[in-house]
Amino acid sequence: MTNAQKWISAFLGLFLILFIVSRVTKSDDIILEEYDYYSNESASETIDEGLTLINQFECIACHGADLKGTKLAPGLFSAKEYWSRSNLINYLRNPSSYEGDARFEGYKKAYKTIMPPYGNKDIKELGVIADYLLKLE
Ligand code: HEC
């Protein structure tokens, strides 16, 4: 090997090492971000998650930002008096199947809107909402 060849191979070697180091640190960053994301998720309490979903699904547009009711829909604080968890989830998925009930006849007269069905939502998310509503006081 000539001197020139030695220099060239030394440079190439150095370049390769730098390249590998940059790749390794880069993938480390991504893993860290993912870890943060999931650890934030698990740290947030179900309570916050329920409220977040209620905002996200725009339940508050009708039931009010404080869930105490508006001209469009009743308050949700008495949900725990009427519903078991599984019935409440079923109701959210398909409100019209509970129409016959006297309470709902009253709602029909009192409110011009109807409760939309949320059957297209993830049932686990509806469960989180149900948990939240059943704890409201
Ligand atoms: C378009 C307006 C509207 C939206 C949006 C809406 N609701 Fe309703 N909701 C109503 C109305 C009106 C009623 C009264 C019953 C009926 O008319 O079907 C009701 C009834 C309810 C009840 C039953 C109350 C009782 O006394 O048992 C629950 C629980 C409920 N809504 C939860 C929710 C949740 C959770 C969301 C969001 C995922 C939501 N609602 C979104 C209008 C709405």
Q: In this predicted model, what pLDDT tens digit does every residue of 84-96 receive, in sequence order?
A: 999 999 999 999 9
Instruction: Give the predicted TM-score (pTM) of the model.
Output: 0.74
Query: What's the confidence (pLDDT) of residue 119?
Result: 96
Which residue from 83, 86, 115, 120 has its CB within 8 A of the most atoms of ligand 1, so it is best to mutate?
A: 115
Q: Please, which residues have CB within 8 angstroms of residue 75's CB and are 6 or more apart in sequence?
A: 63, 64, 67, 68, 69
Residue 42 gets the label, from left (phi > 0), alpha (psi -120 to 50) or beta, of alpha
Residues of the chain with pLDDT under 70: 24-47
118 CB near ligand 1 (under 6 Å):
yes
Query: What's the confidence (pLDDT) of residue 37?
Result: 43
Query: What's the confidence (pLDDT) of residue 18?
Result: 84
Ligand 1 atom nearest to 104, measured from its CA = 15
The C-alpha angle with vertex 118 and arms to 112 and 124, in degrees rounded to 5, equals 145
